[in-house]
Amino acid sequence: MLIVMKQEATENDVARVCEVITELGFVPHPMPGESRTAIGITGNPGAIDPTHFADLPGVAEAIRVTKPYKLVSRDLKHDDTIVRVGDVEIGGDEFAIIAGPCAVETPEQTMEIAEIVAATGVKLFRGGAFKPRTSPYSFQGHGKRGLEILADVRAATGLKIVTEVLDTETADLVEEYADVLQIGARNMQNFSLLRRIGQTRKPVMLKRGMSATLEEFLLAAEYIMAEGNYNVIMCERGVRTFADHTRNTLDLSIVPAVQHRSHLPIIVDPSHGTGKRHKVIPMARAAAAAGADGIMVEVHNHPEKAWSDGPQALLPEMFKQLVADVQAIHKVVAAASRPLAIL
Amino acid sequence: MLIVMKQEATENDVARVCEVITELGFVPHPMPGESRTAIGITGNPGAIDPTHFADLPGVAEAIRVTKPYKLVSRDLKHDDTIVRVGDVEIGGDEFAIIAGPCAVETPEQTMEIAEIVAATGVKLFRGGAFKPRTSPYSFQGHGKRGLEILADVRAATGLKIVTEVLDTETADLVEEYADVLQIGARNMQNFSLLRRIGQTRKPVMLKRGMSATLEEFLLAAEYIMAEGNYNVIMCERGVRTFADHTRNTLDLSIVPAVQHRSHLPIIVDPSHGTGKRHKVIPMARAAAAAGADGIMVEVHNHPEKAWSDGPQALLPEMFKQLVADVQAIHKVVAAASRPLAIL
Amino acid sequence: MLIVMKQEATENDVARVCEVITELGFVPHPMPGESRTAIGITGNPGAIDPTHFADLPGVAEAIRVTKPYKLVSRDLKHDDTIVRVGDVEIGGDEFAIIAGPCAVETPEQTMEIAEIVAATGVKLFRGGAFKPRTSPYSFQGHGKRGLEILADVRAATGLKIVTEVLDTETADLVEEYADVLQIGARNMQNFSLLRRIGQTRKPVMLKRGMSATLEEFLLAAEYIMAEGNYNVIMCERGVRTFADHTRNTLDLSIVPAVQHRSHLPIIVDPSHGTGKRHKVIPMARAAAAAGADGIMVEVHNHPEKAWSDGPQALLPEMFKQLVADVQAIHKVVAAASRPLAIL
Amino acid sequence: MLIVMKQEATENDVARVCEVITELGFVPHPMPGESRTAIGITGNPGAIDPTHFADLPGVAEAIRVTKPYKLVSRDLKHDDTIVRVGDVEIGGDEFAIIAGPCAVETPEQTMEIAEIVAATGVKLFRGGAFKPRTSPYSFQGHGKRGLEILADVRAATGLKIVTEVLDTETADLVEEYADVLQIGARNMQNFSLLRRIGQTRKPVMLKRGMSATLEEFLLAAEYIMAEGNYNVIMCERGVRTFADHTRNTLDLSIVPAVQHRSHLPIIVDPSHGTGKRHKVIPMARAAAAAGADGIMVEVHNHPEKAWSDGPQALLPEMFKQLVADVQAIHKVVAAASRPLAIL
């Protein structure tokens, strides 16, 4: 059920509807839009009688939701969601770029790369302190020490920190340090973690699982939003297919597909999506052209010495060129009216 | 590194080698085999100097391990591992059958199905108390109440309980009730959960992830074993492909592939693997013929009323027939000498 | 449109219906079943008025076909189709085994393998004279010379010959020599070739394309049948997926899926389906258990010297064991009543 | 084997090397580059003794080729190949656009769409006269009549015609009418057809098969080139994966992958690649940004009445906007130096 308020509805009207929803034992999710507010309802086991709302002041209509997701849907909120990380916007007019090393290795390496990133005008820094690794014997990240290094980078450069939260046990710790909490592909359906992160109000970047369908991807975001955290950024990072010329197959068509169904911003990670440097640049450009709201790329000053994923890290000069390219392409796309994507 | 002991090595010899490994700051994993014991070493950042072990009494040789996994490997333990659940063996001569409803719904439904299962001579009962669901709005299982119902079933029928552990938060609770802890496909690379379950000594059934490669599957088991829990049962449950005539594509070739590389038992779940009743029976038979150590199937007395996955649940009479079929096929395969599979 | 005749309808009644169909400008396909005959109609651009047939003697009913395929469908012909190759039946009570080398290499090699095959009681021999090869520079088969060698094998051993027809140019030639015309996976949607082979009356073995859905697979058979050749044997040989532990992922669930929808027999090729000898045996057994009507396997007396696909060829003694295994498993499945598969 | 000539080598020197290759019983393939000529050799069963060439005038070096393909490789020809269709270039500085309806339906529909296409300045027109269809009962194209309609379009508008050649039987006919011969995805490994088209000298557009790897795609082109037709344009059109939000998964990463290994131009078909109009525009832009040499899109004046694939056809005004977009993006990419893609 979805309550759409009239354009002239007051804050009091919205509050009253939320109250009624709460009294019924359900959870209201008000989503202010540019012209009017809609209120999603979760927690109801089945259909709700719309007459509960029909006569409340300010209510335009009560709509039954037939899609499996509600809060992520454009039906609930027509306008694009802009997620704010300090003064940086993701999903707004600017093309968001997140860059940095795969893993925090040493304070020196991290700071050097951060300076390269900051020098290009990019404002979001990535780096893993907790690393999900296929083998129990691989480097698993520096943990808390890594988070401290990232905090030092922030203090020194003003860059905002995007870093992965691996599990509920370390969620408090990561939440304390990070500006954006990243949920990795392997955890896209770790529902306990999704719920836990739904309880913070910090922005979340949710990576698509390796074989997740569009619906599963949207429902994973719904898990987070159902807990009240509406600051979700979707992220395509490649899926598993038979193709063997890249590590994963970057599925850029998910960008217009997500935008078609959801108001949430979506970015693309061409580094994990391809696994090879010479494909990262063309695919990052392609992401911008496909209408993505941003990209996340790995940059390393000495990729040949990187502790993980060196072959996909960009060299500093490549990265600088890439920043210019994607901004120029983003301008073309923005001018050509993104609404076309939402036909 | 892998220390192979001489056939005549004593328990003291083994203990001494373990002591040396511990003194070096690493973790020893002794694996007794039929004719001799091997000792895996984990916790070492790189190669270990074999001369540490060369002169210890009872040591036959110290072998460098070049595969990314160690403890799951047949190189470490040549004989098949038999996982014991009370007096039931998985990986031994008998073909193991785990059956029951997808979810614990009501005490009556659960008990009725359990009686059907027990009447066929099957000794392992499945039923979900904590259910991983794609949508946050779907039935998520009865939780603790579900576990209590399962405990009542065990008390009444003697059936051993196989049930899913969804997260580290509820792991203690599930461990208290379950005889076998199931890790679901979505959690195959939930490394924190794998480590937590590695710390119990209860048998674990590890389901293959929806797009997991053989190596990733084995390394997930390695995460559990590296913590000291060697009672791991692998489980194929279908993978994601383009094919749309089944919910997932059951990849039975993983059975000989796992047996070729690992000493761990492997079973097959044709219910989730196909999603449709009329394919469950042929694929269950095929699993037995492919050399699997067992199957897990869903049975329901009223599948049309099942709260989840009704279309894949077998009716009681079908299930009874199936039990007879797979045992007959298992006999053919066993007589034809399984070793052929490990050429 | 599908005309179902009454049980007591005479041959004359069937002939009269066919005549009417022909007069309307369409093509009749009478399919005699155990209890009654159905007549498929092709060549019609859209729906046909059923009143054309309602009053003809012997007509039980005229049914509109809503599936995209007609002649392959169990709706048209309820009984299993048995394809006869001389006195060998595929789709009947016996489990059909086709064995031989990947390619005809030399007269000696071919004859030696044929003798091994014949000695086990197997009656169908495979061997490629025209080979589809990914590279233009690989051995492309001996062509006509290869067919002559196969004819010599038939003359000497009585084995029936199954061999691939690669294109319409060589179709006449292959048709002259072969007992069963094999259409390879790469040609499953070579529609001109399908139509050409539809014009012979020799049995055809149609391999599933590497990424063919069930519907595409059935429609490829429909192309052949629409030309009047009803002797089609379906063959699963593995599909392309992300999984890298086998060359292809053998999708045995297609066996009950084809049997559910179609009356055509289906066999399995575990040699191409896995690409590795130690997986061929378990998967061949699994094919029998899944209810397949037969298997096709590669056998070689000196696989290490084979000109193509040596690693998947069975050694003679393995093959002998396998023949015994699959027949024993087939007996179990047959006794357990195959109809269960067609629930 | 690959003979690289010195920069100062004369035409006579090249001719002499070709002569020697021919005398040895092999086939020479001279490929002039900007600074020097290389000569590929095919038809040799194995390695060739390089001393045959070492002392010939103008020879710089004889290089053993270790990749499975030769003529498509950048090792043989470093400079990008430009395929010329009249005065239109594919693979040069301009971004090539091929547009038109899926199928030639009527003379009026075809001409109307052609005029829309021509009005945007686009010079290449697509339209199917022979249509590969999954069902034998679907519209298969107008055949020769369709080709005549296309010839009329060319005469009236000056547009060059790109149309599919389905089989060797109709190859002569299609060759007579078409400016570019399209080989469809289903025929990518129809080796007889590839060889036949290798014998014309008309440009060929080779679509990637639905589950073709990079190597198979390049080897299909090699089949054509080995017959002497070097005018091959590669075309990505989406591959089969588990993802269900698009008809196929457009794999844009194949663009830099092909450019990295081969000198051949590559274009992208986002219409078949996505199957839905609202995804065609973003993916066409993304193709340009990924560095593709062009796109092929479907345009229809009345998509709701199209005989096939209406939902993916662009409306005229959308198409016009798209042409502007992709040219603007192509300019950004060209300025940013494509060589980066070939690192």
Encode pLDDT of C250-303 as tens digits: 999 999 999 999 999 999 999 988 888 889 999 999 999 999 999 999 999 998
CATH of domain A83-337: 3.20.20.70
| Chain C residues whose beta carbon lies within 8 Å of the beta carbon of residue D171 | none
The shortest C-alpha distance from C240 to chain A (Å) reads 6
- Domain at D2-63: CATH architecture: 2-Layer Sandwich (3.30)
Does A168 contact B166 at a Cβ distance shorter than 8 Å?
no
pLDDT tens digits along D253-311: 999 999 999 999 999 999 988 888 889 999 999 999 999 999 999 999 998 888 888 88
Q: Six-digit token pair at C90?
A: 């595929």
Does B240 contact D242 at a Cβ distance shorter than 8 Å?
yes
Which chains have 3+ CB pairs within 8 A of C? A, B, D
Cα atoms in the 13 Å half-sphere on the side-chain side of B22: 8
| Chain B residues whose beta carbon lies within 8 Å of the beta carbon of residue C281 | 340-341
Does A290 contact D285 at a Cβ distance shorter than 8 Å?
yes
Does A332 contact D333 at a Cβ distance shorter than 8 Å?
no
Q: What are the helix and strand counts (H, E) for chain C? A: 11, 14
Complete DSSP assignment for C272-329:
HHH-SHHHHHHHHHHHHHTT-SEEEEEB-SSGGG-SS-GGGPBPHHHHHHHHHHHHHH
Does C211 contact D240 at a Cβ distance shorter than 8 Å?
yes
The shortest C-alpha distance from B70 to chain A (Å) reads 10
Do residues D195 and D248 lie in contact, with contact meaning Cβ atoms separated by under 8 Å?
Answer: no
Residue of B nearest to D248 (CA): B242
Identity of the residue numbered A18? C
pTM for the complete prediction? 0.94
Residue B337 has a pLDDT of 62
Of A211, A279, A289, the CB nearest to D285: A289
Q: How far is CA C147 from CA A123, C116, C141, C177, C247, in A?
A: 70, 19, 10, 6, 28
Instruction: Count the residues in chain C.
Output: 343
Of D241, D321, D343, the CB nearest to A249: D241
Distance CA A98, CA A115 (A): 13
The shortest C-alpha distance from B210 to chain D (Å) reads 11
Identity of the residue numbered B83? V
Q: Which residues of chain A have pLDDT under 70?
A: 337-343
Q: How many CB atoms lie within 10 A of CB C317?
A: 9
Of D68, D169, D219, the CB nearest to C192: D169
- Reply yes or no on whether the pLDDT at B65 is more than 70: yes
Q: Which of A206-215, B79-88, D62-71 has the lowest mean pLDDT?
A: D62-71
Place C17 in a pLDDT band, splitting at 50, 70 and 90: very high
Distance CA D20, CA D53 (A): 8
Do residues C249 and B249 lie in contact, with contact meaning Cβ atoms separated by under 8 Å?
Answer: yes
Best residue in B242, B246, B247, B251 to probe D by mutation, most D CBs within 10 Å? Answer: B242
The shortest C-alpha distance from D334 to chain C (Å) reads 34
The shortest C-alpha distance from B274 to chain D (Å) reads 15
Q: Six-digit token pair at C286?
A: 């699994």
Place D339 in a pLDDT band, splitting at 50, 70 and 90: very low
- Reply yes or no on whether the pLDDT at D340 is more than 50: no
Give the pLDDT mean for D101-129: 97
Of D216, D222, D240, the CB nearest to C136: D222
Best residue in C240, C241, C242 to probe A by mutation, most A CBs within 10 Å? Answer: C242
Which chains have 3+ CB pairs within 8 A of A? B, C, D
Do residues B29 and B72 lie in contact, with contact meaning Cβ atoms separated by under 8 Å?
Answer: no
Give the pLDDT mean for B281-296: 98
Distance CA B122, CA B203 (A): 18
- Count chain A–chain B contacts defined by CB atoms under 8 A: 83
Does C282 contact B289 at a Cβ distance shorter than 8 Å?
yes
Q: What is the helix (H) or strand (E) element at residue B61, kind and residue range?
A: strand B59-63
User: Residues in chain C whose beta carbon is closer than 8 A to a beta carbon of chain A?
Assistant: 211, 240-242
- Reply yes or no on whether the pLDDT at D45 is more than 50: yes
Place D44 in a pLDDT band, splitting at 50, 70 and 90: confident
| Chain C residues whose beta carbon lies within 8 Å of the beta carbon of residue B324 | 336
Distance CA B256, CA B341 (A): 6
Which chains have 3+ CB pairs within 8 A of B? A, C, D
Best residue in A208, A219, A245 to probe D by mutation, most D CBs within 10 Å? Answer: A245
Best residue in B137, B187, B222 to probe A by mutation, most A CBs within 10 Å? Answer: B137
Q: Six-digit token pair at C13?
A: 């009644």
Does B135 contact A219 at a Cβ distance shorter than 8 Å?
yes
User: Residues in chain B whose beta carbon is closer than 8 A to a beta carbon of chain D?
Assistant: 211, 240-242
Does B222 contact A132 at a Cβ distance shorter than 8 Å?
no
Residue of C nearest to D70 (CA): C137
| Chain A residues whose beta carbon lies within 8 Å of the beta carbon of residue C240 | 242
Instruction: Please give the residue that has the higher pLDDT: either C204 or B43.
Output: C204
Burial (CB count within 10 angstroms: exposed 0-12, middle 13-18, buried 19+), residue A18: middle
Give the pLDDT mean for B204-232: 97
Do residues A215 and A196 lie in contact, with contact meaning Cβ atoms separated by under 8 Å?
Answer: no
Query: What angle is formed at CA B128 by the lines to CA B125 and CA B132, rounded to 5 degrees?
Result: 145
The shortest C-alpha distance from D244 to chain B (Å) reads 9
The shortest C-alpha distance from A79 to chain D (Å) reads 18
Domain with CATH 3.20.20.70 in chain C: 83-337
Q: Six-digit token pair at D75?
A: 């090792």
Residue A341 has a pLDDT of 43
3-class SS of residue B78: coil
Best residue in C218, C240, C244 to probe D by mutation, most D CBs within 10 Å? Answer: C240
Q: Across chain D, where does the E strand assignment appear?
A: 2-5, 27-32, 37-42, 59-63, 83-85, 88-90, 96-100, 124-126, 160-164, 180-183, 204-207, 232-236, 266-268, 294-298
Does D136 contact C215 at a Cβ distance shorter than 8 Å?
no
pLDDT tens digits along A80-130: 999 999 999 999 999 999 999 999 999 999 999 999 999 999 999 999 999
Does B134 contact A189 at a Cβ distance shorter than 8 Å?
yes
Which chains have 3+ CB pairs within 8 A of D? A, B, C
Distance CA C106, CA C119 (A): 20
| Chain B residues whose beta carbon lies within 8 Å of the beta carbon of residue C314 | none
Give the pLDDT mean for D171-191: 98
3-class SS of residue D265: coil
Domain with CATH 3.30.70.1140 in chain D: 2-63
Q: Which of B137-141, C218-222, C327-331, D99-103 has the lowest mean pLDDT?
A: B137-141
| Chain D residues whose beta carbon lies within 8 Å of the beta carbon of residue C167 | 168, 190-193
Of D42, D167, D189, the CB nearest to C132: D189
b/e burial code for range A142-164 (CB count within 10 A of at least 16 → b): bbeebbebbeebbeebebbbbbb
The shortest C-alpha distance from D130 to chain B (Å) reads 27
- Reply yes or no on whether the pLDDT at C340 is more than 50: no
Give the pLDDT mean for B317-332: 96
Residue B340 has a pLDDT of 42
Mutual angle of helices C107-119 and C316-335, in 10-degree steps: 40
Q: Which of B64-68, B252-256, D200-204 has the lowest mean pLDDT?
A: B64-68
Question: Among candidates C208, C213, C183, which has minimal Cα distance to C195?
Answer: C183
Give the pLDDT mean for D62-66: 83
- Reply yes or no on whether the pLDDT at C339 is more than 70: no
Does C239 contact B249 at a Cβ distance shorter than 8 Å?
yes
Q: Six-digit token pair at D255?
A: 């663009």
Do residues D209 and D188 lie in contact, with contact meaning Cβ atoms separated by under 8 Å?
Answer: yes
Residue A337 has a pLDDT of 62
**Locate tokens 């006919």: which residue?**
D173
| Chain A residues whose beta carbon lies within 8 Å of the beta carbon of residue B240 | 211, 240
Residue of C nearest to A247 (CA): C242
The shortest C-alpha distance from B335 to chain C (Å) reads 9
Cα atoms in the 13 Å half-sphere on the side-chain side of D244: 11
The shortest C-alpha distance from A104 to chain C (Å) reads 30
* ipTM confidence score: 0.92
| Chain C residues whose beta carbon lies within 8 Å of the beta carbon of residue D166 | 191-192
Residue D337 has a pLDDT of 62
The shortest C-alpha distance from C317 to chain D (Å) reads 34
